[in-house]
Amino acid sequence: MLNLPRIDFTSHSFQLLIKKLLIHLLTRLLPAQVHLKQAELAARQERQRMEDMFIEWAAQYCSDTKYINIASSAQMQQLLFGEWEVRSRQGAVAVYLLY
């Protein structure tokens, strides 16, 4: 086991060092937080725009699209894939989409 000297972090010199390090870190982190908030806001707006665009596209194929929950995987699966019927023809599997 190594016998390392104990460091007294309460001494005045270490307190000044820690204070300067904290000030340095905070001045670098605060602008990043502002940027992250702006990026998050832009991402939320873009997501809403994409959801609206998807609903408009899907409304061409299904009249009840305005009631769909885009976050529901079951509803999205039903909308996009409908009911699948699998038939076997000469050893090959054919898949038909039924509306």
pTM higher than the cut 0.85: no
Domain contains 23: yes
Q: What is the pLDDT of residues 36-56, one digit of tens each?
A: 888 899 999 999 999 999 999
Domain contains 4: no
The dihedral built from the CA positions of residue 31, 35, 40 and 42, taken in this order, carries a sign that is: positive
User: Containing H/E element for 86?
Assistant: strand 83-89
What residues make up the domain containing 32?
12-98
User: Containing H/E element for 95?
Assistant: strand 92-98
Domain contains 30: yes
Domain contains 6: no
When divided into structural domains, the chain yields a total of 1
pLDDT beneath 70, residues of the chain: 1-2, 4-12, 29-32, 83-99
Domain contains 72: yes
Which percentage of the chain shows pLDDT scores above 70? 66
Domain contains 5: no
Q: Is there a contact between 80 and 72 (Cβ–Cβ < 8 Å)?
A: no
The dihedral built from the CA positions of residue 55, 61, 66 and 71, taken in this order, carries a sign that is: negative
